[in-house]
Amino acid sequence: MLSRTADNMYWLARYVERAEYLARIIEATQRLTAVPTSDGATTNEWESAVATAGCAAAFFLAHKEANEQTVTDFLAFSPDNPSSIRSCFEVARSNARSVRTALTVEMWDAINGTWLELQKLGAGPASREQFANFLRWVQESSLRFDGSAYRTMLRNDAYWFSRLGVFAERADNTARILDVKYHLLLPPQEHIGGPLDYFQWAAILRCVSALTAYHWVYRESLKPWLIADLLILNDQMPRSLASCYAHLVEHLDNIARAYGRQGLAQRHARQVRTRLENSRMDEIFKGGLHEFIGSFIADNNRLGALITEQYLL
Protein backbone atom coordinates (compact mmCIF):
# COMPACT_ATOMS: atom_id res chain seq x y z
CA MET A 1 0.00 0.00 0.00
CA LEU A 2 1.32 3.45 -0.85
CA SER A 3 2.08 5.66 2.10
CA ARG A 4 0.04 8.32 0.34
CA THR A 5 -3.00 6.06 0.44
CA ALA A 6 -2.47 5.40 4.14
CA ASP A 7 -2.05 9.14 4.66
CA ASN A 8 -5.33 9.88 2.90
CA MET A 9 -7.25 7.22 4.82
CA TYR A 10 -5.86 8.45 8.13
CA TRP A 11 -6.65 12.11 7.54
CA LEU A 12 -10.01 11.42 5.94
CA ALA A 13 -11.12 9.68 9.12
CA ARG A 14 -9.60 12.37 11.34
CA TYR A 15 -11.31 15.26 9.57
CA VAL A 16 -14.71 13.60 9.58
CA GLU A 17 -14.34 12.91 13.31
CA ARG A 18 -13.24 16.51 13.87
CA ALA A 19 -16.29 17.88 12.08
CA GLU A 20 -18.58 15.90 14.37
CA TYR A 21 -16.68 17.12 17.41
CA LEU A 22 -17.03 20.77 16.36
CA ALA A 23 -20.76 20.33 15.91
CA ARG A 24 -20.99 18.84 19.40
CA ILE A 25 -19.07 21.72 20.96
CA ILE A 26 -21.25 24.32 19.31
CA GLU A 27 -24.40 22.53 20.40
CA ALA A 28 -23.13 22.18 23.96
CA THR A 29 -22.17 25.86 24.07
CA GLN A 30 -25.56 26.94 22.80
CA ARG A 31 -27.18 24.92 25.55
CA LEU A 32 -24.91 26.43 28.17
CA THR A 33 -25.57 30.03 27.10
CA ALA A 34 -29.27 29.39 27.58
CA VAL A 35 -28.63 28.78 31.27
CA PRO A 36 -29.00 31.97 33.32
CA THR A 37 -25.86 32.92 35.25
CA SER A 38 -26.65 32.71 38.95
CA ASP A 39 -24.11 34.77 40.86
CA GLY A 40 -22.96 37.00 38.02
CA ALA A 41 -20.25 34.53 37.05
CA THR A 42 -18.44 35.98 34.07
CA THR A 43 -17.59 32.88 32.10
CA ASN A 44 -17.74 33.56 28.41
CA GLU A 45 -19.00 30.27 27.05
CA TRP A 46 -18.20 31.11 23.44
CA GLU A 47 -14.61 31.91 24.30
CA SER A 48 -14.37 28.61 26.09
CA ALA A 49 -15.81 26.89 23.00
CA VAL A 50 -13.07 28.35 20.82
CA ALA A 51 -10.45 27.16 23.33
CA THR A 52 -12.00 23.67 23.34
CA ALA A 53 -11.76 23.58 19.57
CA GLY A 54 -8.09 24.42 19.85
CA CYS A 55 -8.16 27.44 17.56
CA ALA A 56 -8.12 30.34 19.99
CA ALA A 57 -5.05 31.97 18.45
CA ALA A 58 -6.41 31.94 14.91
CA PHE A 59 -9.83 33.10 16.10
CA PHE A 60 -8.56 36.21 17.83
CA LEU A 61 -6.57 37.19 14.78
CA ALA A 62 -9.73 37.25 12.71
CA HIS A 63 -12.27 38.49 15.25
CA LYS A 64 -12.15 40.84 18.20
CA GLU A 65 -14.91 39.42 20.32
CA ALA A 66 -16.17 35.94 21.03
CA ASN A 67 -19.93 35.82 20.80
CA GLU A 68 -22.46 33.48 19.22
CA GLN A 69 -22.28 35.11 15.82
CA THR A 70 -18.52 35.22 15.39
CA VAL A 71 -17.78 31.86 16.98
CA THR A 72 -20.40 29.86 15.10
CA ASP A 73 -19.31 31.49 11.90
CA PHE A 74 -15.63 30.77 12.61
CA LEU A 75 -16.10 27.21 13.78
CA ALA A 76 -18.73 26.13 11.27
CA PHE A 77 -18.47 28.03 8.02
CA SER A 78 -15.32 30.09 7.76
CA PRO A 79 -13.17 29.03 4.80
CA ASP A 80 -10.27 30.87 6.48
CA ASN A 81 -10.29 28.48 9.42
CA PRO A 82 -8.62 25.24 8.29
CA SER A 83 -10.53 23.42 11.03
CA SER A 84 -14.02 24.77 10.51
CA ILE A 85 -16.75 22.25 9.74
CA ARG A 86 -16.83 23.36 6.14
CA SER A 87 -13.06 23.09 5.73
CA CYS A 88 -13.03 19.70 7.45
CA PHE A 89 -15.52 18.27 4.98
CA GLU A 90 -13.70 19.89 2.04
CA VAL A 91 -10.38 18.35 3.00
CA ALA A 92 -12.02 15.04 3.87
CA ARG A 93 -13.73 14.87 0.52
CA SER A 94 -10.57 15.72 -1.40
CA ASN A 95 -8.71 13.01 0.53
CA ALA A 96 -11.52 10.61 -0.25
CA ARG A 97 -11.36 11.45 -3.93
CA SER A 98 -7.65 10.63 -3.99
CA VAL A 99 -8.27 7.16 -2.59
CA ARG A 100 -11.62 6.57 -4.25
CA THR A 101 -10.65 2.97 -4.98
CA ALA A 102 -9.82 2.21 -1.35
CA LEU A 103 -13.31 3.23 -0.23
CA THR A 104 -16.49 1.27 -0.55
CA VAL A 105 -19.45 2.69 -2.45
CA GLU A 106 -21.30 3.47 0.79
CA MET A 107 -18.34 5.40 2.19
CA TRP A 108 -17.89 7.44 -0.95
CA ASP A 109 -21.62 8.18 -1.13
CA ALA A 110 -21.54 9.30 2.47
CA ILE A 111 -18.66 11.72 2.18
CA ASN A 112 -19.49 12.98 -1.29
CA GLY A 113 -23.14 13.42 -0.44
CA THR A 114 -22.17 15.46 2.58
CA TRP A 115 -19.92 17.67 0.49
CA LEU A 116 -22.60 18.26 -2.13
CA GLU A 117 -25.10 19.28 0.55
CA LEU A 118 -22.50 21.63 1.98
CA GLN A 119 -22.09 23.32 -1.41
CA LYS A 120 -25.83 23.87 -1.54
CA LEU A 121 -25.73 25.51 1.87
CA GLY A 122 -23.76 28.51 0.61
CA ALA A 123 -22.84 31.08 3.24
CA GLY A 124 -24.73 29.47 6.06
CA PRO A 125 -28.20 28.83 7.39
CA ALA A 126 -30.39 31.84 7.95
CA SER A 127 -32.26 31.10 11.12
CA ARG A 128 -31.36 29.56 14.44
CA GLU A 129 -33.64 26.65 13.80
CA GLN A 130 -31.92 25.96 10.51
CA PHE A 131 -28.58 26.14 12.24
CA ALA A 132 -29.69 23.57 14.82
CA ASN A 133 -30.74 21.28 11.98
CA PHE A 134 -27.40 21.91 10.34
CA LEU A 135 -25.52 20.78 13.45
CA ARG A 136 -27.66 17.67 13.70
CA TRP A 137 -27.00 16.96 10.02
CA VAL A 138 -23.22 17.32 10.50
CA GLN A 139 -23.25 14.73 13.27
CA GLU A 140 -25.39 12.38 11.22
CA SER A 141 -23.09 12.73 8.23
CA SER A 142 -20.11 11.84 10.32
CA LEU A 143 -21.99 8.87 11.78
CA ARG A 144 -22.99 7.69 8.36
CA PHE A 145 -19.40 7.80 7.14
CA ASP A 146 -18.03 6.09 10.24
CA GLY A 147 -20.81 3.50 10.21
CA SER A 148 -20.35 2.66 6.54
CA ALA A 149 -16.61 2.25 7.12
CA TYR A 150 -17.25 -0.08 10.03
CA ARG A 151 -19.92 -2.05 8.20
CA THR A 152 -18.53 -2.40 4.71
CA MET A 153 -14.75 -2.04 4.67
CA LEU A 154 -12.50 -5.05 4.30
CA ARG A 155 -10.42 -5.50 7.48
CA ASN A 156 -7.06 -4.73 5.93
CA ASP A 157 -4.47 -2.02 6.40
CA ALA A 158 -6.65 0.65 4.75
CA TYR A 159 -9.31 0.01 7.38
CA TRP A 160 -6.80 0.05 10.24
CA PHE A 161 -5.25 3.35 9.13
CA SER A 162 -8.66 4.91 9.00
CA ARG A 163 -9.40 3.61 12.50
CA LEU A 164 -6.11 5.09 13.73
CA GLY A 165 -7.31 8.45 12.48
CA VAL A 166 -10.66 8.12 14.23
CA PHE A 167 -9.24 7.17 17.60
CA ALA A 168 -6.31 9.57 17.57
CA GLU A 169 -8.72 12.44 16.86
CA ARG A 170 -11.24 11.19 19.42
CA ALA A 171 -8.59 10.98 22.15
CA ASP A 172 -7.41 14.48 21.27
CA ASN A 173 -10.98 15.81 21.41
CA THR A 174 -11.81 14.31 24.80
CA ALA A 175 -8.50 15.54 26.19
CA ARG A 176 -9.24 19.07 24.94
CA ILE A 177 -12.65 19.12 26.58
CA LEU A 178 -11.05 18.01 29.82
CA ASP A 179 -8.26 20.52 29.44
CA VAL A 180 -10.55 23.49 29.00
CA LYS A 181 -13.01 22.45 31.64
CA TYR A 182 -10.57 20.85 34.05
CA HIS A 183 -10.93 23.58 36.62
CA LEU A 184 -14.53 22.49 37.00
CA LEU A 185 -13.44 18.93 37.67
CA LEU A 186 -11.07 19.72 40.50
CA PRO A 187 -12.42 18.68 43.84
CA PRO A 188 -14.57 21.48 45.27
CA GLN A 189 -13.00 23.37 48.13
CA GLU A 190 -15.40 24.68 50.75
CA HIS A 191 -18.71 25.10 49.05
CA ILE A 192 -20.67 22.53 47.15
CA GLY A 193 -21.00 23.33 43.46
CA GLY A 194 -24.16 25.24 42.72
CA PRO A 195 -26.61 24.86 39.88
CA LEU A 196 -24.22 26.53 37.44
CA ASP A 197 -21.54 23.92 38.09
CA TYR A 198 -24.07 21.14 37.55
CA PHE A 199 -24.91 22.51 34.10
CA GLN A 200 -21.23 22.83 33.26
CA TRP A 201 -20.58 19.26 34.28
CA ALA A 202 -23.62 18.00 32.43
CA ALA A 203 -22.41 19.93 29.38
CA ILE A 204 -19.04 18.18 29.51
CA LEU A 205 -20.82 14.83 29.60
CA ARG A 206 -23.28 15.75 26.86
CA CYS A 207 -20.40 16.77 24.62
CA VAL A 208 -19.29 13.14 24.63
CA SER A 209 -22.80 11.67 24.86
CA ALA A 210 -22.08 10.35 28.31
CA LEU A 211 -24.75 11.86 30.54
CA THR A 212 -26.82 8.70 30.77
CA ALA A 213 -23.72 6.51 30.68
CA TYR A 214 -22.46 8.27 33.77
CA HIS A 215 -25.55 7.40 35.77
CA TRP A 216 -25.45 3.84 34.45
CA VAL A 217 -21.87 3.32 35.61
CA TYR A 218 -21.74 5.27 38.85
CA ARG A 219 -25.36 5.41 40.02
CA GLU A 220 -24.63 8.68 41.80
CA SER A 221 -25.24 12.35 41.30
CA LEU A 222 -22.67 14.14 39.17
CA LYS A 223 -19.35 14.28 40.97
CA PRO A 224 -16.33 15.89 39.29
CA TRP A 225 -13.80 13.19 40.12
CA LEU A 226 -16.14 10.47 38.82
CA ILE A 227 -16.67 12.44 35.62
CA ALA A 228 -12.90 12.62 35.22
CA ASP A 229 -12.68 8.89 35.93
CA LEU A 230 -15.34 8.13 33.30
CA LEU A 231 -13.64 10.19 30.63
CA ILE A 232 -10.05 9.27 31.36
CA LEU A 233 -9.76 5.79 32.82
CA ASN A 234 -12.99 3.91 32.17
CA ASP A 235 -12.62 1.33 29.41
CA GLN A 236 -16.36 0.94 29.00
CA MET A 237 -16.81 4.51 27.83
CA PRO A 238 -16.01 4.56 24.09
CA ARG A 239 -14.81 8.16 24.12
CA SER A 240 -12.55 7.84 27.15
CA LEU A 241 -8.81 8.22 26.78
CA ALA A 242 -8.26 4.65 27.99
CA SER A 243 -10.70 3.19 25.47
CA CYS A 244 -9.27 5.23 22.57
CA TYR A 245 -5.80 4.04 23.39
CA ALA A 246 -6.90 0.42 23.74
CA HIS A 247 -8.15 0.64 20.15
CA LEU A 248 -5.08 2.51 18.96
CA VAL A 249 -2.84 -0.21 20.39
CA GLU A 250 -5.02 -2.91 18.86
CA HIS A 251 -4.95 -1.41 15.37
CA LEU A 252 -1.26 -0.55 15.50
CA ASP A 253 -0.66 -4.19 16.48
CA ASN A 254 -2.76 -5.29 13.49
CA ILE A 255 -0.70 -3.13 11.17
CA ALA A 256 2.54 -4.40 12.71
CA ARG A 257 1.43 -7.97 12.25
CA ALA A 258 0.42 -7.36 8.63
CA TYR A 259 3.68 -5.69 7.73
CA GLY A 260 5.89 -7.95 9.83
CA ARG A 261 7.56 -5.12 11.72
CA GLN A 262 6.78 -2.87 14.64
CA GLY A 263 8.39 0.38 15.59
CA LEU A 264 8.27 3.50 17.69
CA ALA A 265 4.59 4.17 17.08
CA GLN A 266 3.56 0.79 18.51
CA ARG A 267 5.87 1.18 21.50
CA HIS A 268 4.74 4.70 22.27
CA ALA A 269 1.06 3.79 22.03
CA ARG A 270 1.60 0.84 24.37
CA GLN A 271 3.41 3.06 26.84
CA VAL A 272 0.55 5.56 26.96
CA ARG A 273 -2.01 2.76 27.20
CA THR A 274 -0.09 1.13 30.05
CA ARG A 275 0.11 4.41 31.93
CA LEU A 276 -3.67 4.87 31.62
CA GLU A 277 -4.31 1.24 32.58
CA ASN A 278 -2.16 1.39 35.67
CA SER A 279 -3.30 4.79 36.98
CA ARG A 280 -5.94 5.48 39.56
CA MET A 281 -7.95 8.67 39.73
CA ASP A 282 -6.75 9.68 43.20
CA GLU A 283 -3.14 9.37 42.05
CA ILE A 284 -3.91 11.57 39.03
CA PHE A 285 -5.56 14.23 41.16
CA LYS A 286 -2.66 14.13 43.59
CA GLY A 287 -0.21 14.68 40.75
CA GLY A 288 -2.37 17.38 39.21
CA LEU A 289 -5.20 16.83 36.72
CA HIS A 290 -4.16 19.74 34.53
CA GLU A 291 -0.57 18.48 34.31
CA PHE A 292 -1.79 14.97 33.52
CA ILE A 293 -4.03 16.14 30.69
CA GLY A 294 -1.33 18.46 29.36
CA SER A 295 1.18 15.64 29.20
CA PHE A 296 -1.45 13.36 27.63
CA ILE A 297 -2.15 15.85 24.84
CA ALA A 298 1.60 16.11 24.23
CA ASP A 299 1.86 12.30 24.12
CA ASN A 300 -1.07 12.08 21.75
CA ASN A 301 0.49 14.61 19.42
CA ARG A 302 3.72 12.68 19.61
CA LEU A 303 1.90 9.51 18.60
CA GLY A 304 0.48 11.31 15.58
CA ALA A 305 3.98 12.44 14.63
CA LEU A 306 5.39 8.92 15.07
CA ILE A 307 2.63 7.36 12.97
CA THR A 308 3.28 9.96 10.29
CA GLU A 309 7.00 9.33 10.32
CA GLN A 310 6.66 5.58 10.34
CA TYR A 311 3.88 5.03 7.80
CA LEU A 312 2.55 8.15 6.16
CA LEU A 313 5.60 9.83 4.67
Which residues form the interface with other proteins (CB under 8 A)? 249, 253, 256-257, 260-264, 267, 270-271, 273-275, 277-278
Which CB atom, from 112 or from 262, has the smaller least distance to other proteins?
262
Supply the minimum distance, in Å, between the C-beta of residue 174 and other proteins: 21
Supply the minimum distance, in Å, between the C-beta of residue 241 and other proteins: 15
Q: What is the DSSP string of 149-174?
A: HHHHS-SSHHHHHHHHHHHHHHHHHH
Supply the minimum distance, in Å, between the C-beta of residue 258 and other proteins: 11
Which CB atom, from 170 or from 273, has the smaller least distance to other proteins?
273
Supply the minimum distance, in Å, between the C-beta of residue 160 and other proteins: 15
Return d(Cα 60, Cα 80) in angstroms, integer: 13
Supply the minimum distance, in Å, between the C-beta of residue 188 and other proteins: 28
Which CB atom, from 139 or from 254, has the smaller least distance to other proteins?
254
Which CB atom, from 148 or from 300, has the smaller least distance to other proteins?
300
Which CB atom, from 175 or from 272, has the smaller least distance to other proteins?
272
Return d(Cα 124, Cα 127) in angstroms, integer: 9
Q: What is the DSSP string of 18-80?
A: HHHHHHHHHHHHHHHHTSPPSS-----HHHHHHHHTT-HHHHHHH-S---HHHHHIIIII-TT
